[in-house]
Amino acid sequence: MPQEYKLLLKHADADGYSNDLECYERHGGYAALRQALTIAPAGDNTPQAQLRKRVLDSGLRGRGGAGFSCGLKWSFVRHPNPKPVYLICNADESEPGTFKDRQIIYKDPHQLIEGMIISCWANHVNLAYIYIRGEFTEGAKILNTALAEARAKGYLGKDILGSGHDLEIHVHRGAGAYICGEETGLIESLEGKRAYPRIKPPYFPAALGLYMCPTIVNNVETLCNVKHIVEMGAEAFTKLGTPNNTGTRLVSLSGDVKNPGYFEIETGKVTLGELIHDENFGGGLREGRMLQAVIPGGSSSKVLKAGEIFKLGEEEIALLDVPYDFDTLMKIGTMSGSGAIIVIDDSRDIVECLANLAEFYAHESCGQCTPCREGSLWMNKALHRMTHGEGRAEDADYLKHIAQNIQGRTICAFGEACAWPVLSFVEKFRDEFEAKAK
């Protein structure tokens, strides 16, 4: 029977574990940092370069949504750099269905801070920020307390543990907008402006990020993993999970399962079916219910329909047998995104489900660029018309037309995020949409 594999969540929920520094240190905390700071130069390779290489070799991929190689992202920043390099921890966690980063922030904040300090050291960063979702008021307090503890102990501030490296980390609270999680929107917001995402090119954070300086933006979970890579070594990390899908993933499981919640799994070692049905995970659907659909990677990912069979090269694979990883989900036309699985059973009106999502996106579009600004509300209005008895035979194509006008034409990936649910729901459940015609 598939099991959880607890790497990041090893202690968080353990009895008696608290989020203070003393408890963290008692459980071996900050040993990885000490280790990282004492790496000796090897030939031309600075300790920092060696660390970055380790992260690259570990195969760590971003846990914020896109699954981009963390080591590769770091390599885009030139060293030595004439400008200050910043690191930002993206703790905005707003993708509907996602509730994993907050587990660490609330229960094990020092794990994140240690991961950040190591990452800052590795990337020559002297000033870092944690951009935390506005609604996490308590989380912000916890982080600030933890940062103060770390500062008092010399893990932060001037000359960290005698390394000669200075580092300060500040917590910045968002003010309640999903778009603040998009990295360039986040940067604008951090600069005190409206969170209007920047155009890329030219504003790639690695070159022109915070205050137009090179900036690394990583998700909470990604940064925590850095600590474990240092602790266990890149080689051992690659043994976790599956090739190119290394390490563990925090999965947020919600919707129509008996046992919703968060789980940590080895990436790709557990299937969607197991996550939904196994006792160790979702525990199955409610009595008498059948699976209708699965949204596999946060509300922005393309929906999968119960019973779907996918072709992977020569092989065929059924929906429930899909291993939960980055690559397979991409190959079947969707993504594992933020690791949030939303299960929809047959009691749900699928058009209503989509209308609900569309409302979220219409409300959260920042409105900067034309296709998303106008299209997100347009789709929402159309869907709500349909769920209010005013559907038309042509609405499926109509929705598709609107969504196609958005994807690939916007400033930020919110365009895809709002178009993909519509495109996939309409494609896979066309009958349901057509059935809404008056």
Ligand X SMILES: Cc1cc2nc3c(=O)[nH]c(=O)nc-3n(C[C@H](O)[C@H](O)[C@H](O)COP(=O)(O)O)c2cc1C
Which residues would be at the binding site for other proteins (CB under 8 A)?
Answer: 177, 194, 196, 199, 201-202, 362-371, 373-378, 381-382, 385, 392, 398, 401, 404-405, 407-411, 416
Alpha helices in 38-95 (DSSP H): 47-57, 70-75
> Which of 310/398 has CB closer to other proteins?
398
Q: Is position 76 an interface residue for ligand X (rule: CB under 6 A)? A: no
Q: Could you tell me which of 325, 422, 346 has the C-alpha nearest to residue 379?
A: 422
Q: How many chain residues bind ligand X (CB under 6 A)?
A: 25
Subset of residues 192 to 211 that bind ligand SF4, contact rule: CB under 6 A: 197
Number of H helices, E strands in the chain: 18, 13
Tokens standing for residue 194: 């409206």
Give CA–CA dist 6/363, Å, rounded.
Answer: 36
Q: How far is the CB of 407 from ligand SF4 (least distance, A)?
A: 10
Catalogue the long-range contacts made by 327-332 (C-beta closer than 8 Å, 24 or more residues apart): 327/244, 327/245, 327/268, 328/268, 329/296, 329/297, 329/301, 330/67, 332/304
Alpha helices in 307-369 (DSSP H): 327-331, 350-364
Q: Is position 410 an interface residue for ligand X (rule: CB under 6 A)? A: no
Give CA–CA dist 36/119, Å, rounded.
Answer: 10
Q: Is position 188 an interface residue for ligand X (rule: CB under 6 A)? A: no
Residue 66 touches which member of ligand SF4, ligand X, other proteins, none, C-beta under 5-8 Å by kind: ligand X
- For residue 191, count other CB atoms closer than 10 A to its CB: 11
Alpha helices in 248-388 (DSSP H): 272-277, 327-331, 350-364, 370-385
Interface with ligand X (CB under 6 A), residue from 121, 196, 378, 414: 414
Q: How far is the CB of 170 from other proteins (least distance, A)?
A: 24
> Which of 178/433 has CB closer to ligand X?
178
> Which of 106/398 has CB closer to other proteins?
398
Subset of residues 94 to 113 that bind ligand X, contact rule: CB under 6 A: 94-95
Residue 32 touches which member of ligand X, ligand SF4, other proteins, none, C-beta under 5-8 Å by kind: none
Residue with token string 């699928």: 350
SS3 428: helix
Q: How far is the CB of 370 from other proteins (least distance, A)?
A: 5
> Which of 221/395 has CB closer to ligand X?
221
Q: Is position 332 an interface residue for ligand SF4 (rule: CB under 6 A)? A: no
Q: Could you tell me which of 229, 297, 211 has the C-alpha nearest to residue 71?
A: 229
Interface with ligand X (CB under 6 A), residue from 120, 344, 362, 417: 417
Q: Is position 7 an interface residue for ligand SF4 (rule: CB under 6 A)? A: no
Q: How far is the CB of 129 from ligand X (least distance, A)?
A: 12
Q: How far is the CB of 180 from ligand X (least distance, A)?
A: 8
- x/- mask, ligand SF4, residues 346-385, rule CB under 6 A, reads -------------------xxxxx--xx------------
Subset of residues 398 to 417 that bind ligand SF4, contact rule: CB under 6 A: 410-412, 414-415
Q: Phi/psi of residue 256, each to 5°? A: -85, 60
Interface with ligand X (CB under 6 A), residue from 92, 114, 325, 395: 92
Residue 432 touches which member of ligand SF4, ligand X, other proteins, none, C-beta under 5-8 Å by kind: none
Greatest extent of the chain over all pairs of C-alpha atoms, in Å = 74
- x/- mask, ligand SF4, residues 163-182, rule CB under 6 A, reads ----------------x---
> Which of 275/396 has CB closer to other proteins?
396
Tokens standing for residue 26: 């008692």
Helix axes 370-385, 350-364, angle to 10 degrees: 150
Q: How far is the CB of 367 from ligand SF4 (least distance, A)?
A: 5
Cβ–Cβ under 8 Å, residues 285 and 256: yes
Strand 85-91 versus strand 215-219 pairing type: parallel
> Which of 373/392 has CB closer to ligand SF4?
373
Give CA–CA dist 349/433, Å, rounded.
Answer: 10
Alpha helices in 47-204 (DSSP H): 47-57, 70-75, 101-107, 109-122, 137-152, 183-190
Residues that bind ligand X (CB under 6 A): 62-66, 68, 73, 90, 92-95, 178-179, 181-183, 217-219, 222, 412-414, 417
Name the residues that contact ligand SF4, by CB under 6 A: 179, 197, 365-369, 372-373, 410-412, 414-415
